[in-house]
Amino acid sequence: VGIDPQRLRPMLPCFRTAFDALTAWVEDRERPPASTTVPRPAGDGATDPALLNTCSLRSGS
């Protein structure tokens, strides 16, 4: 993240969100969302709290 904070962000928040979604699909039999690429929100990956602590699987969030 420190190398290019305008293009990179920490991976852990997105990993946690994706793992929770996978658990819901498998254990709760929820339907997965349609396949898509989720764009990275604008912001500085090294300092923006929204990029450091959260990650949405919704496109445009």
d(CA 59, CA 10): 18
pLDDT at 61 over 70: no
d(CA 6, CA 36): 22
For the chain, what are the domain ranges? 5-53
The mean pLDDT value for 43-61 works out to: 79
DSSP character at residue 17:
H
d(CA 6, CA 16): 22
User: What whole-number percentage of the chain has pLDDT above 90?
Assistant: 11
In this prediction, residue 59 has a pLDDT band, given cuts at 50, 70 and 90, of low
Residue 60: per-residue pLDDT = 55
Per-residue pLDDT of 9-26, as tens digits, reads: 888 988 998 899 899 999
